[in-house]
Amino acid sequence: MYEYKLFRDGENKKFYKIIVSKKEFNMIVKTVKEIFYAIKQIIVWTVFNKIRKTSVYSTKASTKAHYARLVNIGKNTFVADNVSIGYRSYVNEDSWIENCLIGNYCSISSSVMICPTEHNLHRILSHPIAGTKATRPVVIGNDVLISHGCTILSDVHIGDGAVIAAGAVVTKDVPTYEIWGGVPAHFIKKRFKSKSTINFIINNDIYHQKDIYQFLQVKQEEDDG
């Protein structure tokens, strides 16, 4: 038990005491540390964002991860050290990203889990006390849309232009320009009806263009025509 003199009664000229248990004391210390860490991260990311021209709003995002220019990370999203995120890609709030390579122009929604630690079902205990299963990197191509609440498991490769429907659990590779969904995720349909759009993307190297708007306008005019 811990005893503290916290404040004094002016009339009676005596201190009032508050007694807290060791567990309560440890909780207070932990909370104070978390507050100071969050303040430190806010300061660090304010400077980092200005230097790198990013928009990272989460205090849980690692400064050791790689963020290309104009990357946006929403509040309360965890990003591990072993993550790389490409140009103009964004991750919304409350997501968890680790051991992952993400391409350019990707759209990742909220509450998405990418390459989370997995339980090892081949041991006598599935509990983490018996050890967890080693994960392999997830590779996500360019212009991939991952919708709300998806989970992408270890060693999965998602091709350029793919779309993952909300709530899907992706356990195997997803080819380029396909829409997948379900648990486990499976093929639903092709993203584009015609190969002309895909050819336009490839021929103009769209995913590596910094001034993308001129290409979008040209393609829109072609489609309208």
| 13-71: pLDDT as tens digits | 555 566 667 777 778 888 888 888 788 878 888 888 888 899 999 989 998 999 999 99
Q: How far is residue 1's CA from residue 218's CA, in Å, rounded to a whole number?
A: 72
pLDDT-derived band at 116 (thresholds 50, 70, 90) equals confident
Opening angle at CA 108, ends 40 and 220, nearest 5:
125
- Strand order from edge to edge, sheet including 169-170: 78-79, 96-97, 113-114, 151-152, 169-170
pTM to 2 decimal places: 0.79
| 198-214: pLDDT as tens digits | 998 999 899 998 877 77
- Within 13 Å, how many C-alpha atoms sit on residue 156's CB side? 23
Q: Mind telling me the catalytic residues?
A: 119
